[in-house]
Amino acid sequence: MRTPSSFRNGPFDIEELTKRVGERFEAGKRFAIVVAAEGAKPRAGTMEFDEGGKDIYGHERFAGIARQLSVELEGRLGKEARPVILGHVQRGGTPTAYDRVLATRFGWHAVEAVHRGEFGQMTALRGTDIVMVSLAEAVKTLKTVPEERYDEAETVL
C-alpha cells in the first residue's frame, strides 16, 4: 500500500486514515500496521488529541499520539488496536563495540573542548574524524528525511 504524501506532511486526516485501514480489513487482511511519528498530529478538531505542552525551554512535549490514535481507530473500526511505543533504548538497539568506542571518543573530545574554553559547540563525526561544530551551524538548517527514503522503506504486508 503506497503511503500518500498527505500522511507525510503536516496534520493527518483521521477520516482518510480510518478509510485506508478499513480497506485492508475489507480486502481480507487480518491486521494493519500504522506507524506514527511521535510529533504526528491530527487535523484540528477531527479527533481527541492531548497537546503535550512546552518544556521549560519552550520545546514541544509529545503527548503520546500512538495511544490516542489506537483508541480512535478501535472506536471507528470496531477492531482491536494495540499501540506499541518504542523507547529511546529500543530505537537504537544494543550498542556494538564500535558504538561504545565512538561514544567514548565523542565524550573525550567534548571534555577537551571544555578545557580549551570552546563552548557553544558539539562533537560531530566527519568521515572517521571527530570535529567540533558550532551549535548555530548544526541547527541552522532543518534536516528532513528525503522523499525517496520513504519509497525505499515502503513495503506491502
Predicted structure pTM score: 0.55
All residues at 6 or more sequence positions from 8 whose CB lies less than 8 Å from its CB, including other chains: 147, 150
Q: What is the pLDDT of residues 71-103, one digit of tens each?
A: 999 999 999 999 887 776 666 778 899 999 999
Amino acid (1-letter code) at residue 50:
D
Q: What is the pLDDT of residues 15-45, one digit of tens each?
A: 999 999 999 999 999 888 888 887 788 888 8
Cβ–Cβ under 8 Å, residues 136 and 120? yes
Q: What stretches of the chain show up as alpha helix (H) in DSSP?
A: 14-26, 65-77, 88-92, 97-115, 135-139, 147-153
